[in-house]
Structure formats: C-alpha cells, structure tokens
Amino acid sequence: MARSASGFSLAQSGGGPLRGVLGTSLGWTSWALFGSLLLHIDRTPLWVTFVACALIAWRLLAEAHPVRLPGKIARVAIALILVMAVFVRFRTLNGLHAGTVLLLLMSAIKLLETQARRDQYIVLGGSLFLLLAACLERQDLLRMPLYVLQAWLTCGALAIVAYAPDKMPATATSPMEHVGGFDTRAALLLAGRTLLYSVPLAILLFILFPRVQGAFWAVPRSDDAATGLSDTMSPGSISQLTSSYDIAFRAKFEGKVPPPQERYWRGPVLHQFDGYTWTRAPYGAYPAEPLEYLGHPYYYRVSLEPSQQPWWLALDTVAEIPTPKASVTYDHALIGSEPVTELTTYVAVSYTATRTTQPLSKRARQIETTLPAGRNPRSVQLAREMRGRVGSDGAYVAAILDFLRTGGFVYSLTPPLLNKDSVDDFLFNTRSGFCGHYASAFVTLMRAANVPARVVTGYLGGEWNPIGRYLVLRQSDAHAWAEVWLDGQGWTRFDPTTVVEPDRLTRGMLDLLPDSGSREARLVHGSPTLAHLLARWDAANAWWNDHVVKFDYAAQLNLLSRLGIGSPDLQTLGWGFLGALSLWLGWMAWQFGRAVPRARPDRLGRAYARLCRKLARAGLPPRAAHEGPLAYADALSAKTPDLAPQIRRLLARYAELRYGEEQASYDTEVREFERGVGALTL
C-alpha cells in the first residue's frame, strides 16, 4: 500500500477495514461533505439528510468491502430522481433553501463517482459553497465556531487531497520516495495556518470592499414559520408567546432611556372583533390623525430579529423613521415593505406622549365603536349602565378601570378556557386572564358605551443589559393594551392589565408568574451568576449583529469616515487597499522568510571574527577566505615581526579551542579568549 505508513492514499486496496478508508483523502473529502451536511441538518428535510448520508456511506463502504458502486446509468438515474424529489418538495430548484438541498444531494452523488483528484476537488468546492449557504441562512454568533471548524476541515481536506496521489496506484509499490512528515496532522496544521494568515486580508477586504445597495436579483422569500406577534389576537394567543425565551429585538438608546412605565413597543393595532378574535382593519381604513408630540424625543436604534412578519417594532409613538423600507401606518404602527426575514436594524425617533386636538373622523368613529351584533350581551349591558352613571368618557374609563381593580380579577398565564362570548365569560365567570383578556374586555366595554377604542399589541418593558447598555425585548415580553379616543386629547393609552397587576410595568413576567416562561428562562432567573453570564453573551451577540452581520453600505461609510477617510471614492479605496495589500504580503513574506534562519556563528566564532576585523583595521592584510588561523598567523608574522608573537598566541589559541579536544573548562577558556581579543592593542 503506497504511502500508507505516514502519507495518504486515495483508496485502500483490497478489503481493509473502514477505519483505514476514513484516513485517506477520500475519507477526508467525505468528512468535509458530512460537515456541511451537519450545518444544514436542522433546515433540510429528513429524507435529504438520510439520502446524503447513505450516498456517502455507500462510497466509503465500497472502498473497504466488496460493495459495488453504481454504474454511470444508475448514477444519472439516481441524480434525476433526486432532482425531481427536490422539485416536488420545494416546487422550485431555485432559491436558497431548495438550492442548498440540491447542492447537497448533487455533491453526495459526485462523491459516489469520485475516483480521481479532480472529483474530490469538485466535492470540496461543493462543501465550501454549502458553507456559504449556511452563512447566508444564519449568522448567529453561536454558530460561528461551527463555520470556522467547517472552513478549516474543508481546507485541511483540500491539502490532503492535493498531496495524495492522483489516481489509485496501479501497482502496490509506489515509485515515489516518501520522506514523511506530511500526514493528517501536518495537513490540518497547514490549512489552519494558511487560514489564519488570510484573516488580515479578509478583514481588510471586508472593510474596504464596496458594497452594492440593492440586490442583483430578487432574494426569494424564506418559507420559515412566522414567529412573534401575529395580526390577530384571541384569548390565549399572547400567553403562548411568553413561553418563548427568544429575543424579539434589541434597542439601544442614544441619550435618555424611557422609564419603565413608558416602554410600550407598538406592534400591529387591531380594530375588528368577532366576539372572540381581534383582527386588523383594511390598510388605510381611515386617515391618520395629525399628532402633536409632547415631552422630549427618544433616539434609538433597533435591531430586529427575523420574524417573517412585516412589523417593525418602535417605541410608542414613532415620529420619524429615516428609511424608505418601512412606513408608518394610519394607526401609528411601523410596517416594513417586506417581511423581516433577516436581522434588520434601523434608527427611529419616538415621543411617549402625544395629543390630537382635532375631532375623530366619522369613518374612524364608526370602525372603532363597532361590536359584533348579539355577542357578549352581559358586557354590553354592563357598559351601558356604567356609562349612564358618569358624565364623561374620561370618567367612564376611570370607572371601568376601578371595576377591574376591585372586581376580584386575577392575573394568570393559564386562565380557564373561554366560550364563544369570550368577554362575558371572562368578566362574569372566570375573572382570570392575561393581558390579551384584559385588553379585549376593556375595549369591548368601551365600544359598548359608544366610546371609540382599539387594541394595540406589542411588547412591554425589556431587560436592561448593563454590559452593552441596551434593552433586550424577548417574546415573553409580548403584551396587549388599549387605546381610547378622548376628545381634546386624541388616542390615549390605557393598560388594564397594569390595573390588575401594577407590577407588570416594572417587573418581569417571571417575578409575577414564577411558573411562566420556558425552562431556560426560569433557570436564568434563579441564578444571578447565570443571568450575568447571559447578559455578557447577549452583549457579545449584539455587538456581533451590529458590527459584523449588519456591516452594510451605511456602516461602511460610517466606519471609513471615522477612520478619517471622509468621502471615500473608489480610487481612494483602491489605493488604500493596494497599500494595505502590499503591507500584508510583505508581512507574510517576512513571516515565511524566517523559516530559513541565517547561520549565526557561535560565541567563539564571533570572537574570532572580531579579532580578524581588528587586525584588518590596524592596517594588516585581512585574512583571506582560504586561510586558516595558523596560516594567517604565518602570513602576519612576515609583516609585523614585533607584534607577531602576541597575534600568533591568540590565533593559535583559537585553533586549539576550535579544533582541539573539548575540555571541561571550555566555557571559561572561550571567555578568556574573548578577553584576550579585547585586550589586544595594535
């Protein structure tokens, strides 16, 4: 077996054990492909993973055991069947998801027919592109070690493939004389070092390479399931979210941070009620009221995690959003032009207090006071009675809040199920509910008394990260509240939940309802150390998201201007890049050049060189290259008979130290010789 001792062979000849095959270049190519398979394992259908694994195993088994590989026709047939299967499953071969699956399967089939080095290069190229697809799909900091490992593994496999003989050796004996040393370990080390050396250039290009605004072709939508807030609200829909510890978004404030009671983050506003479920009204159902902003503005930057929904969360009420990719709706929610399929960052300006002095339009009043006919009759009756007893809408709101406060209502994450007349059932029977129940009941009571009101969903509060100095809003912070139209004031926020449970404003869900939330949330909640570590980790994630994942055209301009390149044009960037590139190449040449150290004479040799220089400076003939110390002494004694004995003694001493038998006192004698050289006066 050629090179089996320390090098690689393409294939194991004869029925060796499978373990031997895994160490060959074929084995390493398979490992690289398997690594990319693992990166996509949670996003690919199970059958794809299974088929790819089976194809890899088939190829490897064929090396070790008498298993036959498919012929050309069979391979083409398998490939066609798989392409069709992918098409049936995804309805397309295009797009990130289908394309990834297709590339994965085709690489596995390529592996099946792999014989020569060229085939293995192609499989490794496929692995690298699958790594790229993984980068396109997900950019979590947590996955970075996996990506780094996969890049390393693939490049290591490349080194191994390049070193192994091209084809299966025809004869058992290799004509090559193998020195050894370049084994798996050396290959992986080489790949790792090469990648490390390329990091400076990668960073440089990352910063300087011009980004394009907009895509060359439309990026197909992801078919991931939507998460977070939805467009509808029925009893229990929000409490489902509280079991999720996932992050909805992070918000970093510039300047003042709003106090806890003003941290309402507005999401979709719901207008229509069928007695059980709240839904949105058609877009632009009525015109937006002109707002008068009160108090001071809050400036902040949100980085929104993908939700597959169009809603961009903003602090209530958003005043400005300087991007054309999102707009403010008539009900002051922020909606993006596309669903949020990737991490999205934006800056916004909000005021927490507003006023509208104009009257509500007729159309709006009609929409916001409509209730389903014949539903929740007891609530409607209650509302009419109570409205009759007070003089104004404002007093009515206060009376209803008082009713909720004193009516024996309980804040609970797991309330009993409600029947079709959900508000009646809640107000008069169960009296136990979550924010959705309270908002729904409150708005129903308002509308029943002909007071315009609507349900607002969004997030409340947020956890302050002291390391990154930003707010983290999790899915468990999802909330619903109400807005009531009061003449002279406009839409006014009322949060009936906080009437029942005032602590909801300032404390997290877990303080209030220890049984709520996911297991990891409770775990973190119970341990301050863990909470601190988690805050650190989250700050690292936030930094990663802001500075790496979202390093776009604007961030590039920003960084360059901070580096002192005010208005970078392509030419400046080009020159900067060339300069830095040459620095990098020079640095590398220097690094590699150190591998050939110049031979440096030892201590004795240096003293001898010093002596010879000294003699030459004194005007004596310099030592010729071919002259030994004694021959040189002979040559000198002819020139300077008076100094000769002294010089001869030193030169002879050198010859003795250099060529004589080494004594125990060698070091002392060398030092003595050095002193003798120093003491020589000419």
Nearer of residues 184 and 198 to another protein, judged by Cβ: 198
Residue 205 binds to another protein (criterion: CB under 8 A): yes
Judged by beta carbon, residue 213 or residue 529, the one nearer another protein is 213
Closest by Cα among 440, 437, 448 to 383 = 448
Task: Tell me which residue has tokens 């798989």.
Answer: 82
Task: State which residue, 21 or 159, has the beta carbon closest to another protein.
Answer: 159
- Residues 544-603, interacting with another protein (CB under 8 A): 548-552, 585, 588-589, 592, 595-597
Q: Looking at beta carbons only, is 6 or 429 nearer to another protein?
A: 6
State which H helix or E strand residue 447 sits in: helix 435-448
Residue 215 interacting with another protein (CB under 8 A): yes
* Cα–Cα distance measured from residue 159 to residue 448, given in angstroms and rounded to the nearest whole number: 76
CA distances from residue 496 to 114, 431, 450, 601 in whole angstroms, order as listed: 68, 13, 18, 88
Instruction: For residue 13, give both structure tokens.
Output: 């000849």
Q: Sign of the CA dihedral 521, 525, 528, 531?
A: positive
Closest CA relative to residue 260, chosen from 352, 349, 331, 354:
352
- Smaller CB distance to another protein: residue 217 or 283? 217
- Out of 172, 212, 625, 638, the only residue in the binding site for another protein (CB under 8 A) is 212
Q: 89-92, long-range: CB within 8 Å, 24+ apart, which pairs?
A: 89/45, 92/220
Judged by beta carbon, residue 143 or residue 522, the one nearer another protein is 143
> Least distance to another protein from the beta carbon of 545, Å?
10
| Residues contacting residue 179 through CB under 8 Å, at least 6 positions apart | none
Spatial CB neighbours of 415, under 8 Å, sequence gap ≥ 6: 235, 236, 239, 426, 430, 432, 433, 434, 437
d(CA 258, CA 260): 6
- With CB under 8 A as the contact rule, the residue among 217, 570, 571, 638 that binds another protein is 217
Site map (CB under 8 A) of another protein, residues 179-198, x = contact:
xxxx-------x---xx-xx
The residue within the footprint of another protein, chosen from 19, 65, 91, 178 (CB under 8 A), is 178
Nearest approach, Cβ of residue 574 and another protein (Å): 16
| By CB under 8 A, residue 209 contacts another protein | yes
- Residue 347 in contact with residue 341, Cβ under 8 Å? no
- Quick one: 162 or 399, whose CB is closer to another protein? 162
Residue 155 interacts with another protein (CB under 8 A)?
Answer: yes
Among 109, 159, 257, 480, binds another protein (CB under 8 A): 159
Q: Retrieve residue 272's tokens.
A: 């229509």
Cis before 317? omega within 30: yes
Nearer to another protein, 81 or 205 (CB): 205
Looking at beta carbons only, is 345 or 422 nearer to another protein? 345
- Tell me which stretch binds another protein (CB under 8 A): 29-37, 214-222, 369-377, 470-478: 214-222
Among 151, 188, 321, 449, binds another protein (CB under 8 A): 151
Nearest approach, Cβ of residue 226 and another protein (Å): 20
Residue 129 C-beta: closest distance to another protein, Å: 7
Q: Which stretch binds another protein (CB under 8 A): 169-177, 447-455, 490-498, 518-526?
A: 169-177
Beta carbon of residue 346, minimum distance to another protein (angstroms, whole number)? 15
Looking at this protein, which amino acid is placed at residue 512?
L
Tell me whether residue 80 or residue 219 sits nearer to another protein (CB atom).
Answer: 219
Q: Which member of 19, 211, 256, 603 binds another protein (CB under 8 A)?
A: 211
Binding mask 103-142 for another protein (x = CB under 8 A): --------------xx--xx--x--xx-xx--xx--x---
**Least distance (Å) between residue 220 CB and another protein:** 10
- Give, as one character, the DSSP assignment of residue 599: P
DSSP string, 408-422: T-EE-SSPPP--SSH
Q: 131 near 146, Cβ under 8 Å?
A: no
Q: Residue type at 339?
A: P
Residue number, 19 or 547, with CB nearest to another protein: 547
CB contact set of 488 (below 8 Å; sequence gap of 6+): 357
For the CB of residue 102, give the shortest distance to another protein in the complex, in Å: 15
Q: Which two tokens mark 14?
A: 């004869």
Helix (H) or strand (E) holding 505: none
Least Cα distance to 460 among 225, 273, 298, 248 occurs for 248
Applying CB under 8 A, the site for another protein has a residue count of 59
Cα 539 to Cα 255: distance, rounded to the nearest angstrom: 19
Question: What is the nearest approach in angstroms of another protein to the Cβ of residue 306?
Answer: 13
Nearest residue to 94 (alpha-carbon basis) of 221, 225, 212, 213: 221
Give the HSE-up count for residue 518: Cα atoms under 13 Å, Cβ half-sphere: 14
In the complex, the smallest distance separating the C-beta of residue 589 from another protein, rounded to whole angstroms, is 7
Q: Is 199 in the site for another protein (CB under 8 A)?
A: yes
Structure tokens at 63: 């090396």
* Residues at the interface with another protein (CB under 8 A): 117-118, 121-122, 125, 128-129, 131-132, 135-136, 139, 147, 151, 155, 158-159, 161-163, 175-182, 190, 194-195, 197-203, 205-206, 209, 211-212, 215-217, 219, 548-552, 585, 588-589, 592, 595-597
